[in-house]
Amino acid sequence: QVQLVESGGGLVQAGGSLRLSCAASGIIFSINSMGWYRQAPGKQRELVADITSGGSTNYADSVKGRFTISRDSAKNTVYLQMNSLKPEDTAVYYCNAQLRTTMVWLDDYWGQGTQVTVSS
């Protein structure tokens, strides 16, 4: 019943910017948090940034000062503004939502991923 749809990935040169968007739809009782993870080939998936229902944010050290996560609660949408991109930011970026579809059922949902490639 829940879908996360990502958009905004692409190919940019180092120093460029991209803005990722993720919209959650379906039967949603409440959203505890939404965030972005990324996974490069041969590496583990890692947290990039997340934001809680209360507005608290968390960033990986590698992206602090360059990336900004924000949300539009009315639209169940989370954004990731990525500036000053580096080749090491190249990865598949996945949207994640921790949410309840009922009062008692809590689960993690994932988008299909969007490729971000940063050329040197």
| SS3 per-residue string spanning the chain | CCEEEEECCEEEECCCCEEEEEEEECCCCEEEEEEEEEECCCCCCEEEEEEECCCCEEECHHHCCCEEEEEEHHHCEEEEEECCCCHHHCEEEEEEEEEECCCCCEEEEECCCEEEEEEC
Of the chain, the percentage scoring pLDDT greater than 90 comes to: 94
* Mean pLDDT, rounded, for 80-96: 98
What pLDDT does 44 receive? 96
Phi, psi angles (nearest 5°) of residue 45: -70, 135
- The residue written with tokens 């939404």 in the block is 34
**Whether pLDDT at 22 is above 90:** yes
What pLDDT does 23 receive? 97
Phi, psi angles (nearest 5°) of residue 29: -80, -45
Of the chain, the percentage scoring pLDDT greater than 70 comes to: 100
Task: Note the pLDDT tens digit of each residue in 26-80.
Answer: 999 999 999 999 999 999 999 999 999 999 999 999 999 999 999 998 999 999 9
What pLDDT does 1 receive? 79
